[in-house]
Amino acid sequence: MVLLKLRSRHWVVDEYSRIIIGEGRKEILENIEKTGSINQTAKIMKMSYKGVWSKIKATEKYLNKPIVHADRKTGTFLTEEGKKLLEKYRVLKERCLEADNRIFDRIFSREERVIGGEPE
């Protein structure tokens, strides 16, 4: 028996389809919030420091606003713009998933989502 479910991913992109924020950048920002460190974020995500930093810088370039403040004296943290971007993405993701699930449920009835018999 196979139970069908919907999986979806969401990215916010600019007019050239360059990613502003998606799951990966959300995770970067969340880890910076938790750790206060780009280096620790890179280790947690199994990425290079340069890889994490380049994604942050790319988003900042596209938005023309700083989203992360990094300074040896004052530490590393999300700017107000970074916090707003992260929160807006969280809300967007939550609402998109709710809408996606409603649409999926309308298109695939419970019986159609189970292939090969009844669910256990």
Tokens 């924020």, residue located? 21
Instruction: Please count the CA atoms within 13 angstroms of the CA of 22 that sit on its side-chain side.
Output: 13
Q: End-to-end CA distance of the chain, in Å?
A: 9
Partners of 70 in the β-ladder: 76
Structural domain boundaries in the chain: 2-114
Return the pLDDT at 116: 56
Instruction: Determine what percent of the chain is predicted with pLDDT higher than 70.
Output: 88
Instruction: Determine what percent of the chain is predicted with pLDDT higher than 90.
Output: 73
Partners of 2 in the β-ladder: 115
Instruction: Please count the CA atoms within 13 angstroms of the CA of 83 that sit on its side-chain side.
Output: 8
Instruction: Please give the CATH architecture assigned to the domain spanning 2-114.
Output: Orthogonal Bundle (1.10)
Q: pTM here?
A: 0.83
Eight-state DSSP code of residue 1? -
pLDDT tens per residue, range 16-32 = 999 999 999 999 999 99
Which residue in 8, 7, 33 sits closest to 85, CA to CA?
A: 33
Which is more confidently placed, 118 or 82?
82
Length of the chain: 120
Mean pLDDT, rounded, for 47-55:
97
The helix (run of H) or strand (run of E) holding residue 25 is helix 23-35
